Amino acid sequence: MIPPVYILVGHPNAGKTTLFNYLTASSQRVVNYPGSTTVWSKAMIPQSEVVVVDTPGMDTLEPNSDDQQVTLSLIQSPRSMGMDAPIRLVWVVDATQLSRQLALIALLNQPLSGGVLVITRSKQVSISDGMVHRLTTEWGLRVYLDDDRGLRALSRDMMQGVGTAYYGVQLEPPSDEQIMGAFAKSEELAMGLVTPLQSSRLDAWVLHPIWGALLMAMVLSMGFWLTFLLSQPLVEWIESGWLTVAQLIGRLIVNPVMRAVVVDGVLGSIGSVLVFLPSLLLLFAWFSCLDQSGFLARLTVRLDRILGYFGMEGRSAVPILSGYGCAIPAILACRSIPHSKERVLTILAIPLATCMARLPVYALVLTMLTESSVIRGMGLSGIYMMSLVLVLGAAKLAARWVPDTPSVSSGFAMTLPQWQWPNWLLVCQYAMSQTLHFIKKAGIAIILIGVGLWIAGQYPHPDRSLLLMTSHWLNPIMNLMGADWRIGLGILASFGARELFVPALYSVSPDGLYVSNLTAIAIIVFYMIALQCGATVAVLQQELKSARWAWGLTVGYTVVGLALSIVGYQFIRWVQGICC
């Protein structure tokens, strides 16, 4: 007898992943949080061969995003997704959203009768025995609540094969009459439920036009500040620890050439990946907390109209704000945007956000520009303001060329979930799984790029290396913005990581480097627009699923940034020559 496969199906944030982890005692990668919506997880119930599959949320039979298409494909043709065993469905609905979420079950239960229904968050509302009886008798469902008794019964019954098995089904998009009938049926069944008043009272503050905006800005600012404040000691600990490890390994290698390759090339590149991890881990954990609590949904609703003018939508807000910390998790967070056009526009705009890695560059250049700490502070604030203008402007400009998904509406609609405390176990699991996913996908590319840059800086000799020769070739271009080959060397080195601009510059100018005010401004303009670091290019290629798009975007931003820097510098020099 072939063991059955149970597929968990329901709306986003209905509680599928929590149920999945309970049934399978699993800590596998979850799929319920925005950012991993096109992935599904599979595990077995302990001490059995019964397989449970956790799927991305869906709220319609006409999928308008990749995540909903994955779930619909699993339901209709599981064999095409590699599942040859008999399939049984487990409908998962949120008790606080029962009247809305039961409508989907009503539509699906007609061609797929005999399913299993699990009502989550049942303790927050009053579920009557009469309601459970109607769902059992009229709808033909086996109903379980998510209390201890209900979950134990569900696990036991699944091992015994509860539910009707099938191998495939063709689901036709429902007519308007069928949809209206399903909603009427579910609203009638859920009538009289007592839901908590906590959300409406808190929403009166959070969604207020003035106080809500201030509160959201304060929460986001505090979150970014705490994320990088807490990650800084970890970064310093990793840097010092990895340096010690590299030195110990270097002492074991006798050959000086091999020692340089391993310690400076390979281990140095791995170290550049490791320093990302604390910030990534905390950022993923923070976004998971915002999502599970219900804050993220309300933020996207508030910003939808503003971002819609620039071709994006409310869900673009969090990735853009995250880009001011690091572009890598910001680009990964764009997976939560279901429609391809808005998702691509957001990804295209994020590299223009001033990430933390650019701060050392700006700090050095502003020091060249002025000795006044007040002016430096004002200059840095201006850089951040102009960065936001560039992000929105790039999205608005690119909206003319990025095509819409055929026959898919790009409208944004969301039912606000209930406020709740995050599940800290799920927060940790998600943060760890996404960080490991980053290491697996982008870490290898970062290491290869870092090793390549090191080789270019050493071959055939450090004093006449390929990197140094290329920098001298750039000298005529750098002269157009009042700089020389040393600035060019810093720019080339910063392709591996933007903050490498500073040590590269000091390696050839240990006593410091003087540039004019105009040149300092030109360098700032260049870095505001150009030069996505190697890690960002790797993630762009992964998320856009196109090396041509990723490298084209990198080259395009670099050329535009360089052109604006040179044109601006030469124009101001020309004006100064006329006036003076």
pLDDT digits (tens, 9 = 90+) for 426-440: 788 878 877 776 676
Mean pLDDT of the chain: 78
Query: Band of the pLDDT at 564, cuts 50, 70, 90?
Result: very high
- Token readout for 23 is 């049934």
Report the alpha-carbon angle 460-463-465, nearest 5: 40
Instruction: Specify the residue for token string 């329901």.
Output: 10
Q: Are 73 and 92 part of one and the same domain? A: yes
- Token readout for 457 is 């800086």
Q: Are 34 and 175 part of one and the same domain? A: yes
Domain encompassing residue 130: 5-190
**Domain contains 429:** no
Output the DSSP codes for 98-118: HHHHHHHHHHHTTTS-S-EEE
Return the higher-pLDDT residue of 301 and 259.
Answer: 259
Last residue of one domain, picked from the residues 190, 206, 224: 190
Query: Band of the pLDDT at 8, cuts 50, 70, 90?
Result: very high
Position 34 pLDDT exceeds 50: no
- Gap between the Cα atoms of 66 and 357, Å rounded: 32
Q: Are 529 and 474 part of one and the same domain? A: yes
Q: Are 226 and 349 part of one and the same domain? A: no
Q: Report the pLDDT value the prediction gives residue 36, as an integer from 0 to 100.
A: 36
Residue 43's beta-bridge partner residues? Answer: 52
Closest among 345, 355, 373, 409 to 544, alpha carbons compared: 345
**Tens digit of each residue's pLDDT (9 = 90 or more) over 239-248:** 888 889 888 9
**Tens digit of each residue's pLDDT (9 = 90 or more) over 450-468:** 567 667 777 777 777 787 7
Q: Are 395 and 528 part of one and the same domain? A: no
Q: Report the pLDDT value the prediction gives residue 192, as an integer from 0 to 100.
A: 57
Instruction: Specify the residue for token string 């898919």.
Output: 408
**Domain contains 418:** no
Last residue of one domain, picked from the residues 244, 275, 306: 275
**Domain contains 438:** no
**Tens digit of each residue's pLDDT (9 = 90 or more) over 84-106:** 788 899 999 888 778 788 888 88
Position 115 pLDDT exceeds 70: yes
Return the higher-pLDDT residue of 445 and 428.
Answer: 428
Q: Give 301's contacts (C-beta < 8 A, 6+ positions apart).
A: 207, 314, 414, 416
Largest CA distance in the chain: 92
Q: Are 215 and 88 part of one and the same domain? A: no
Last residue of one domain, picked from the residues 190, 208, 240: 190
Query: Band of the pLDDT at 507, cuts 50, 70, 90?
Result: low
- Per-residue pLDDT, averaged over 310-320, amounts to 77
Query: Band of the pLDDT at 560, cuts 50, 70, 90?
Result: very high
Q: Are 33 and 181 part of one and the same domain? A: yes
- Gap between the Cα atoms of 261 and 250, Å rounded: 10
Q: Are 176 and 202 part of one and the same domain? A: no
Position 35 pLDDT exceeds 50: no
Q: Report the pLDDT value the prediction gives residue 39, as an integer from 0 to 100.
A: 63
Q: Are 252 and 302 part of one and the same domain? A: no
Closest among 158, 9, 14 to 86, alpha carbons compared: 158
Q: 139: helix, coil or strand?
A: coil
**Domain contains 168:** yes
Residue 99: which CATH number? 3.40.50.300
Q: Are 215 and 336 part of one and the same domain? A: no
- Per-residue pLDDT, averaged over 372-389, amounts to 77
Edge-to-edge strands, sheet with 5-10: 41-44, 51-54, 5-10, 87-94, 116-120, 142-145
Residue 143's beta-bridge partner residues? Answer: 117
Closest among 349, 339, 330 to 287, alpha carbons compared: 330
Q: Are 572 and 460 part of one and the same domain? A: yes
Return the higher-pLDDT residue of 39 and 3.
Answer: 3
**Domain contains 61:** yes
Q: Give 579's contacts (C-beta < 8 A, 6+ positions apart).
A: none
- Gap between the Cα atoms of 110 and 524, Å rounded: 62
Position 395 pLDDT exceeds 50: yes
Q: Is 140 left (phi over 0), alpha (psi -120 to 50) or beta?
A: left
Position 30 pLDDT exceeds 70: no
Position 163 pLDDT exceeds 70: yes
Q: Report the pLDDT value the prediction gives residue 511, as an integer from 0 to 100.
A: 63
**Domain contains 444:** no
| Segments in 110-169 forming alpha helices (H) | 129-137, 148-159
Q: Report the pLDDT value the prediction gives residue 536, as an integer from 0 to 100.
A: 83
Closest among 165, 170, 157, 169 to 2, alpha carbons compared: 165
Return the higher-pLDDT residue of 296 and 390.
Answer: 390
Query: Band of the pLDDT at 342, cuts 50, 70, 90?
Result: confident
**Tens digit of each residue's pLDDT (9 = 90 or more) over 471-493:** 778 888 888 988 888 888 778 77
Q: Say how far residue 337 (Cα) sits from the centre of its chain.
A: 10
Query: Band of the pLDDT at 549, cuts 50, 70, 90?
Result: confident
The number of distinct structural domains making up the chain is 4
**Domain contains 469:** yes
**Domain contains 184:** yes
Q: Which residue type occupies 318?
A: V
Q: Are 307 and 347 part of one and the same domain? A: yes
Pairing of strands 41-44, 5-10: unpaired
Q: 296: helix, coil or strand?
A: helix
In the chain the first and final C-alpha atoms are separated, in Å, by 92
Q: Which residue type occupies 282?
A: L
Position 573 pLDDT exceeds 60: yes
